[in-house]
Amino acid sequence: MATGRSHRPATRSRGIPEATVARLPLYLRALTALSERSVPTVSSEELAAAAGVNSAKLRKDFSYLGSYGTRGVGYDVEYLVYQISRELGLTQDWPVVIVGIGNLGAALANYGGFASRGFRVAALLDADASLAGRLVAGLPVRHIDELEAIVADNQVSIGVIATPAGAAQEVTDRLVNAGVTSILNFAPTVLSVPDGVDVRKVDLSIELQILAFHEQRKAGEGRQEPDGDVPAVMPA
Ligand SMILES: NC(=O)c1ccc[n+]([C@@H]2O[C@H](COP(=O)([O-])OP(=O)(O)OC[C@H]3O[C@@H](n4cnc5c(N)ncnc54)[C@H](O)[C@@H]3O)[C@@H](O)[C@H]2O)c1
């Protein structure tokens, strides 16, 4: 069922720290894997290891959800899946539009993980009129001129931007004016948005640069100067 755009996840209003919110999807992914294997309960240590988090942090995070587990038994997997999904707002349907249906937009549209996590792709939009009507992941690409009507008709609150960087701000402004309040930006540019609009940025090249930094440091550690100095690097 579509939701009104005034609806915001309960997490912030309930005072759960952003760092905890950012770890909830990691727990959920690990718990979903356990659930698929019909594992009924899990200890905080096992779950922490599966999620790549330290177990004291996990227990603290779960205390914000009011979930303490049972001593000697651990946490009920199904109940935790439900609790975390509810906390993240995933027990309801979130219609999403993807703007820019080139290489990346088409790959995102074809990603099955959206639907299984409650994100329904309501429409695919592109400015290239020659793409209009073409089927991508079973959905027809719609022209960007239809953006406002599509957002209103489907009560879309989340927009995904996969346009070139130069078009991203203009697309953002249109999405926001149409009523979208959350944006996932894949374009390599900083977006400005009014208060009340959340932007998350995904940038694989930045992640690769961070890995390159660590690689360089590892290589530097193996190549110490005779006096013990390591080549100067920026702090992490
Ligand atoms: N974040 C990441 O990790 C990551 C990875 C790959 C690509 N990217 C970025 O994603 C974006 C898309 O990359 P791509 O390879 O798919 O490019 P692409 O050229 O294949 O696709 C871009 C699409 O956007 C459309 N478009 C252009 N202006 C538009 C507008 N105003 N409104 C709607 N649609 C518009 C184009 O018609 C085209 O179909 C680029 O900004 C790229 O840098 C990010």
Each residue's pLDDT tens digit, 144-181? 999 999 999 999 999 999 999 999 999 999 999 999 99
* Distance in Å, CA 58 to ligand 1 centroid: 37
Question: Do 142 and 184 belong to one domain?
Answer: yes
pLDDT for the residue numbered 15: 82
Question: Do 180 and 113 belong to one domain?
Answer: yes
- How remote is the C-alpha of 20 from its chain's centroid? 14
* Distance in Å, CA 177 to ligand 1 centroid: 21
Nearest CA to ligand 1 atom 6: 104
- Residue 220 assigned ligand-binding role: no
Q: Which residue has better confidence, 46 or 232?
A: 46
The answer to whether 133 and 112 are in contact (CB under 8 A) is no
Each residue's pLDDT tens digit, 96-140? 999 999 999 999 999 988 877 788 999 999 999 999 999 999 999
Nearest CA to ligand 1 atom 29: 127
Report which of 45, 16, 49 is spatially closest to residue 30, judged by C-alpha positions: 49
- Using a 6 Å CB cutoff, which residues line ligand 1? 99-105, 125-128, 144, 162-165, 167, 170-171, 186-188, 202-204
Show which of 64, 87, 110 is a domain's final residue. Answer: 87
Residue 212 falls inside a structural domain: no
* Distance in Å, CA 104 to ligand 1 centroid: 6
* Distance in Å, CA 236 to ligand 1 centroid: 30
Non-local CB neighbours of 177 within 8 Å, separated by 6+ positions:
148
With 0.95 as the threshold, say if the pTM is over it.
Answer: no
Each residue's pLDDT tens digit, 71-89? 888 999 999 999 999 898 8
Show which of 63, 87, 111 is a domain's final residue. Answer: 87
Residue 234 falls inside a structural domain: no
* Distance in Å, CA 107 to ligand 1 centroid: 11
Question: Do 145 and 79 belong to one domain?
Answer: no
Question: Which residue range(s) make up the domain with 197?
Answer: 94-202
Query: Structure tokens of 66?
Result: 């009011």
Residue 50 falls inside a structural domain: yes
Question: Do 76 and 102 belong to one domain?
Answer: no
What CATH number is given to the structural domain containing 171?
3.40.50.720
- The CA distances from residue 192 to 93, 189, 214, in Å, are 27, 10, 31
Question: Do 81 and 150 belong to one domain?
Answer: no
Residue 63 falls inside a structural domain: yes
The answer to whether 151 and 175 are in contact (CB under 8 A) is yes
- Residue 103 assigned ligand-binding role: yes
- Residue 52 assigned ligand-binding role: no
- Residue 183 assigned ligand-binding role: no
- How remote is the C-alpha of 230 from its chain's centroid? 37
Mutate to test the pocket of ligand 1, among 170, 186, 190 (most ligand atoms within 8 A of CB): 186
Question: Do 80 and 123 belong to one domain?
Answer: no
